Amino acid sequence: MKDNGMSGKRSTDAVQIISIREHPEYFDRAAGYLSSKWGIDRKVYEESISDGIKTSNPLPRWYLMLKNGEIIGSYGLIENDFMVRKDLLPWLCALYVDEDERGMALGSRLLAHGRQEAKELGFDRLYLCTDHIGYYEKYGWRFFGLEESEWGGMTRVYEIESG
């Protein structure tokens, strides 16, 4: 038997990223997944995902990372991520990789996919807000500044060129 170079490693070959706009059959599963990972009311995700499927506008867009048909990660491209600044868009939000799938650069694949999608949608830049320090910088994101959240308080905002 020939060694495929994956001995002792978990393969990411079966991993794919899909657009819920192009695969609306994932609507229900996506809303449940996102709500469970972020602790935000499922109805918020249902509304945004539904808008993403129906609208002719470029945003919102929602994406799932699948492994053998199971959701293992996600992200969205939205107009605003609960931030006071409405002049910055689009926002990459809800980036998540299941804990047991981490350590295989899947988050970086989702980030790269988001940058490419933003470019294809006609955006020059992409923003995100986070409490993490150090993670996004590894992938070229630059600290934009502290910006006010609609929920109160200041949040770290990062930016990157699309594509």
Amino acid (1-letter code) at residue 62: W
Q: For 129-143, how does the pLDDT look when each residue is reduced to its tens digit (9 = 90+)?
A: 999 999 999 999 999
106 pLDDT higher than 50: yes
Q: Which one-letter DSSP state was computed for residue 89?
A: -
Mean pLDDT for the chain?
91
Q: Which two tokens stand for residue 136?
A: 């996004």
49 pLDDT higher than 70: yes
Identify whether the C-beta of residue 143 lies closer than 8 Å to the C-beta of residue 155. Answer: no
Identify whether the C-beta of residue 64 lies closer than 8 Å to the C-beta of residue 74. Answer: yes
Report the alpha-carbon angle 144-137-94, nearest 5: 80
Measured CA to CA, the distance from residue 101 to residue 87 in angstroms comes to: 35
Measured CA to CA, the distance from residue 71 to residue 8 in angstroms comes to: 23
Fold held by 15-161:
Aminopeptidase (3.40.630)
Q: What is the DSSP string of 20-69?
A: TTT-GGGHHHHHHHHHHHH---HHHHHHHHHHHHH-SSS--EEEEEEETT
Identify whether the C-beta of residue 77 lies closer than 8 Å to the C-beta of residue 89. Answer: no
Report pTM.
0.89
Identify whether the C-beta of residue 96 lies closer than 8 Å to the C-beta of residue 83. Answer: no
Per-residue pLDDT averaged across 56-85, rounded? 94
Following CA atoms 111, 58, 54, 96 in sequence, which dihedral angle do they give, to the nearest 10 degrees? 10
Confidence of residue 84 (pLDDT cuts 50, 70, 90): confident
